[in-house]
Chain A
Amino acid sequence: MAEKPEELSLPVASVSRVVNDALPPNVNVSQEARKVIAKTASVFVLYTTATAASLASKAGRKTMNANDVLAALMENDFPQFKEPLERSLEHYRETQKKKKESTTARKSEQANTSKPGKSPSPNSKKSPKQKATAAEEPEAASDSEGED
């Protein structure tokens, strides 16, 4: 592979943050231990990826998905990670969805402002009539829905 070995290991600084979160305060971790933890983390990534990829190919898929990763962790004997991971994944998907929605909303807003907007006065005059017709219609509407 073209990558240099140092490019294939996780940065010690961010790994150290996770290490510090796991330990009670004022615990000393030697520099050597930090480096080794970063190395093991990289190996863990590769190990999990390889297992997940083989699970995907066994199922006849080329794309590795979230379920493959979860199944790989179960196979590699880390069942205690499943529950927190599912929670994180749910949260991640929600935030991704929100991001998507906000970008599409922004785009549509831009499209609306660029078009000449209709004057609101005729709409507001019509609205009482519309309400009345809407009040009469629901039965018919529900019937037609049932037919569909």
Chain B
Amino acid sequence: MAADKSGSSKKNSAGPSNATSNNEEKTGGQSTRLRTDVVLPQSKVKVIMKSSPEIEVIGGDSVFLITKATELFIDHLTTAAYGTCKGNKSMQYKNLAEVVHKHQNMEFLRDIIPIKIPARLALQEMAKQTHIDNKELME
């Protein structure tokens, strides 16, 4: 029952007052891992699932299960990225990229979140690469 209550309170607190409501929820001890309801729209998840060419028929519970798994995944990724902030109270793209490139089970995201590097370094890298290629051709 407690989970239901927190779910309804969260629905009410959607919007710009997220930071303060989040504070209240934390004291209530309700994280994504403990809740049994979902926040993400299941209809949207189903549309994404159906866009996959491999799929034929989606069973009843699987949409709910994937929605919940996605929430757990967001929770996992965010917590891990916050761990790389090192006391800095702000999360940036680079924190996410670092996590994705460090964890083996997030390999599938590496093309989607490439590590950004300054253009100067990228050009140096490219120059080095062409140098090596040329050397190989010479040999």
Quote the shortest CB–CB distance from A46 to chain B (angstroms): 6
* Contacts known (A17-B10, A18-B39, A81-B69); A46 close to B90, Cβ less than 8 A: no
Interface 1/0 per residue, B75-100 and A, CB below 8 Å: 11111011001000111110110001
Q: Does A138 contact B (CB under 8 A)?
A: no
Q: Are A22 and B23 in contact (CB under 8 A)?
A: no
Q: Which residues of A contact B44 (CB under 8 A)?
A: 10-11
Q: Does B136 contact A (CB under 8 A)?
A: no
CB contact between A45 and one of B48, B90, B91 (< 8 Å): that residue: B48
CB contact between A69 and one of B22, B26, B66, B79 (< 8 Å): that residue: B66
Q: Are B48 and A8 in contact (CB under 8 A)?
A: yes
Q: Which residues of A contact B32 (CB under 8 A)?
A: 18, 21-22
Question: Who on chain B is nearest to A86 by CB?
Answer: B65
Q: Are A33 and B41 in contact (CB under 8 A)?
A: no
Q: Are B61 and A89 in contact (CB under 8 A)?
A: yes
Interface residues of B in 39-91 (CB under 8 A from A): 39-41, 44-45, 47-49, 51-52, 54-59, 61-62, 64-66, 68-79, 81-82, 85, 89-91
- The total of chain B residues at the interface (CB under 8 A) is 68
Measured in the bound complex, the distance between the Cα atoms of B45 and A7 in whole Å is 10
Q: Does B3 contact A (CB under 8 A)?
A: yes
Quote the shortest CB–CB distance from B64 to chain A (angstroms): 5
Measured in the bound complex, the distance between the Cα atoms of B59 and A21 in whole Å is 29
Q: Are B65 and A41 in contact (CB under 8 A)?
A: no
CB contact between A48 and one of B41, B69, B77 (< 8 Å): that residue: B69
* Contacts known (A24-B26, A25-B19, A87-B36); A66 close to B93, Cβ less than 8 A: no
Choose, from A51-59, A103-111, A118-126, the stretch at the interface.
A51-59
Q: Are B19 and A14 in contact (CB under 8 A)?
A: no
Closest 3 A-B residue pairs measured CB to CB? A77-B105, A91-B36, A28-B90
Q: A46-B48, A64-B62, A78-B72 are in contact. List 15 more A-B contacts (CB 8 A).
A: A18-B39, A20-B19, A30-B90, A32-B93, A33-B93, A49-B66, A50-B52, A62-B56, A62-B57, A69-B65, A69-B69, A80-B76, A85-B68, A85-B72, A89-B65
A-B pairs with beta carbons under 8 Å apart, 30 shown: A3-B51, A10-B40, A14-B39, A18-B71, A18-B75, A19-B74, A21-B30, A22-B82, A23-B82, A27-B82, A30-B90, A37-B74, A37-B77, A37-B96, A40-B73, A44-B70, A49-B49, A49-B54, A49-B66, A53-B54, A53-B56, A54-B54, A64-B57, A65-B59, A66-B61, A69-B62, A69-B69, A76-B105, A84-B34, A91-B3
